[in-house]
Structure 1
Amino acid sequence: MYRVWNFLTNYSLLLILGALIALIWANTDPSSYHHFVDFVIWDNAPVGHLHDGHRTLTLHYLVNDLLMAFFFAIAAKEVWEAVILSNGSLRGKKAATPLFATLGGMLGPITVYLGLALIMGSDTYSAVANGWAIPTATDIAFSYIVGRIVFGAGHPAVRFLLLLAIADDAAGLIILAVFYPSGDLAPQWLLLSLGAAITVYMLANWLPRKLDRGNQTRPTSTWVRKRLNFWPYLLAASASWYGFMQSGLHPALGLLPIVPTIPHADRAFGIFAEAEQYLTDLLNQIEHALKHPVEVILFFFGLLNAGVEFSFIGDATWLVLAGLLIGKPLGIFVFGWLAAVPMRLGIPEGMRIIDLVVIGCVAAIGFTVSLFVASVAFDAGPVQDAAKMGALFSFAAAVVSIAVGKLLRVEKTTN
């Protein structure tokens, strides 16, 4: 439990603090708040928002498009290990039902969001349709901690929830890349990202191991690790990020091609496992080195994105909430049941089918990624602000989860 609270404190409380400051600031002095968000750091810069043939680097762009790339790199690291390692949590039959439930946890919110928007009229639908992905997100840290409160630390549903949240993150990264480009697409620039990934893998990972083959002292790999450390990967990451920016894909995803090229451990203990901090492979060391910088980045992300005036609460707010609070539990239950019963993939021993409803309620806490998607799905204005408010209000899912858990008589398991 210490590891979970430590993670929550490190990554999430600063984010909440930034969001609270933003809400207070935007509702007391909106003019100065928006001036702060749009503060121009460098006009005619080599990176930044493209406008009238030149780029402008603003504070908002620096945080959302450049620095948040490190946050998504950490998320990608957890997904990569869950998929590639032999004991990865998203491998084998144990992951089948959670993966199906994840699919339901995305299709359910999309259906509810777009369905209700259609019922509200063509004008509303046209205004909010592009935000369909906002309620598909699940905040891993907050969902995990609420799951432990509802089910108890030792309940198999908590592990199920974590598998679902990791898979949800993976799907969310794909959705951001495919459906929310940051500009006109120029896919040829992705060759720069691909080339950077292949080059750094061959020169800093594959070649040293090949030269050390048959020599247990591994002199070349040791020299590369001690002398060069993470620098080749940082250089490759910079090139990859620039390729994403020029390609029109969201540059916050620009480090994703580099993550798989970094030497990693032979096994993973999980994002909240105490043993994770003792792994000495380069990938884990880079993650640990990024911990404190990412804390600060998330604070500024909350500060620059959560400043919504309460007067902007509107249709998008309720659609995002409905997608999360209705679509998530319904989709996770239906698809989880289909996988567990008709398809006979089963669920973990000690877990009931009805627990899928409670898991769906817990997974409805969107917050971080929902807030990010809202910021890229809509142009700045009332609709974006209303959608962001829905992402912030998704914290209500914690209270709903506890109530539904009691209603469905969840028996807590502490060991």
Structure 2
Amino acid sequence: MKTSKLFTDFFESEKSSGIVLIICTALSLFLANSAFRESYEGIWYFPIGEHSLEHWINDGLMTIFFLLIGLELEREVYIGELSNIKNALFPIVAAVGGMLVPAGIYLMFNHGTPTQSGAGIPMATDIAFALGVLSLLGSRVPTSLKVFLTALAVIDDLGAILVIALFYTDNLSLFNLGIALAIMGVLFIFNRMKVSSWIPYVIGGIGMWYFMLNSGIHATISGVLLAFVIPFGDGSEKTISSKMQHFLHKPVAFFILPVFALANTAILIGDDWMEGLKHENSIGVFLGLVVGKPLGILLFCFLVVTFGLCKLPRGLKWKHIFATGFMAGIGFTMSIFITLLAFKSQPEDITISKIAIMISSLVAGIIGYVFLSKTLKDVEVVEDEL
């Protein structure tokens, strides 16, 4: 199975980022529970203008992360795994199952409670962590499995973005939203006019971000919207989209996501932290990510294949799909991101959720790694021509 150089670069940067994220998370937890706690937390609460440094990271830097996700999704739609409806249907359905079933399980425990707004938490997949764990299996992993997990995770993140836009929006300002969409419209016209300079898109993107920030809709949405008005052309390395995607890979993988992890995993682990794991919210998060993800992905994929709507990717078996479902249960970055939106005024629930997310992601990752390690023993992987 032939893959593009850009996909290979994306996979390589994301898998390396997963290792960096593990290190940053461990460091952040250590500092937050050491004698340096107050100084460390003070860094993230340091005021810059009207907001804290943490706020600018979550609302500003993460917009660039979503821009990269949007560019990768655009590439997949035009010339990648999602360009053929028959090929696209499999990871799309997998992603839908991997969102709906976890959300349903979460609501089984939290419906009608103050934490029911956290249903979006177990719907997410952390691309960097998931690909990072997958990479530990080395050359035994078929390219079709790498492409499937990547496409699944990208679509999953798009679903998370839609959830953020639809369910985590407060005090909508139609005026500011209208200006943001108007700027997007102008950039779309530039796209159709084949304006090849990146400058108007960057300036317009900053404007979209500012007005989206003040519209009530989370500002990171502007990153994805911007991606789809940046000219894709023929997808060659000379196009703005390809250049920007290539340029953003390393800053996002090795700066933005690690900084996000450092800022949002500074959790004080109290003596009663295990009590929090008995909370309905924690149970919903754990079962959603560890049970709901693999179950939803396997079930929905099995149904579309059974009804003849699509086929299993070449070289893969159902046990591989099920094992990959556990990899998708590594929510981490995206799950924490949604937690911050779901429980804005509930700091205790944020802390409980973060601990549950980290434990759930760790368990899902270990199960996925062990399961795939066993199921891939009999798979003969042929080196792909890149």
TM-score range, shorter chain: 0.7 to 0.9
| Equivalent residue, structure 2, for 1:72 | 66
How far did 1:331 drift? 0.7
| Equivalent residue, structure 2, for 1:285 | 243
Alpha-carbon distance change, 155 to 196 in structure 1, aligned in 2, over 3 angstroms: closer
Q: Deviation string for 1:52-109 (max 9, x for gaps)?
A: xxxx2211111111121101100111112222x1555353101212221211111111
Alignment of 1:18 onto 2:24: yes
How far did 1:10 drift? 5.6
Alignment of 1:6-405 (within 5 A): 6-8=12-14, 11-29=17-35, 30-42=37-49, 56-83=50-77, 85-89=78-82, 91-117=84-110, 126-147=113-134, 149=136, 152-154=140-142, 156-181=144-169, 183-202=170-189, 204-207=190-193, 209=194, 225=196, 229-267=197-235, 279-294=237-252, 295-311=254-270, 312=273, 314=276, 315=279, 316-379=281-344, 381-393=347-359, 394-405=361-372
**Which structure is larger by alpha-carbon Rg, 1 or 2?**
1
Q: Give the aligned length.
A: 365
Alpha-carbon distance change, 147 to 22 in structure 1, aligned in 2, over 3 angstroms: closer
How far did 1:143 drift? 1.9
Question: How far apart in 2 are the matches of 1:292 and 1:356?
Answer: 29
| Equivalent residue, structure 1, for 2:4 | none
CA contact (8 A) 1:194 1:257 kept: no
CA contact (8 A) 2:209 2:222 kept: yes
Question: How far apart in 2 are the matches of 1:4 and 1:152?
Answer: 19
Letter in 2 for 1:128: T
% identical equivalent positions = 27
CA contact (8 A) 1:90 1:163 kept: no
CA contact (8 A) 2:69 2:224 kept: no
Question: How far apart in 2 are the matches of 1:326 and 1:2?
Answer: 30
CA contact (8 A) 2:174 2:215 kept: yes
Letter in 2 for 1:328: K
Question: How far apart in 2 are the matches of 1:283 and 1:164?
Answer: 21
Alpha-carbon distance change, 283 to 408 in structure 1, aligned in 2, over 3 angstroms: closer
Alpha-carbon distance change, 7 to 28 in structure 1, aligned in 2, over 3 angstroms: same
Q: Normalized against structure 1, the TM-score is what?
A: 0.80
Letter in 1 for 2:86: K
How far did 1:149 drift? 4.7
Alpha-carbon distance change, 395 to 192 in structure 1, aligned in 2, over 3 angstroms: same
SS at match of 1:395: helix
CA contact (8 A) 1:140 1:165 kept: yes
SS at match of 1:351: coil
Alpha-carbon distance change, 232 to 383 in structure 1, aligned in 2, over 3 angstroms: same
Question: How far apart in 2 are the matches of 1:333 and 1:410?
Answer: 21
SS at match of 2:314: coil
Alpha-carbon distance change, 88 to 62 in structure 1, aligned in 2, over 3 angstroms: same
Question: How far apart in 2 are the matches of 1:299 and 1:107?
Answer: 28
Q: Which runs of 5+ in 2 are unaligned?
A: 1-6
CA contact (8 A) 1:155 1:350 kept: no
CA contact (8 A) 2:180 2:211 kept: yes
Question: How far apart in 1 are the matches of 2:191 and 2:8?
Answer: 34
CA contact (8 A) 1:17 1:302 kept: no
Letter in 2 for 1:189: N
SS at match of 2:261: helix
Return 101-110 or 402-411, whichever deviates more: 402-411
CA contact (8 A) 1:26 1:309 kept: yes
Return 345-354 or 238-247, whichever deviates more: 345-354
SS at match of 1:189: helix
How far did 1:292 drift? 4.5
CA contact (8 A) 1:60 1:304 kept: yes
Q: Normalized against structure 2, the TM-score is what?
A: 0.85
Alpha-carbon distance change, 405 to 322 in structure 1, aligned in 2, over 3 angstroms: same
> Superposition RMSD on alpha carbons, in Å?
2.6
Alpha-carbon distance change, 317 to 412 in structure 1, aligned in 2, over 3 angstroms: farther
Q: Deviation string for 1:118-147 (max 9, x for gaps)?
A: 5xxxxxx51321111111111223323434
Alpha-carbon distance change, 286 to 366 in structure 1, aligned in 2, over 3 angstroms: same
CA contact (8 A) 1:127 1:383 kept: no
Letter in 2 for 1:133: G
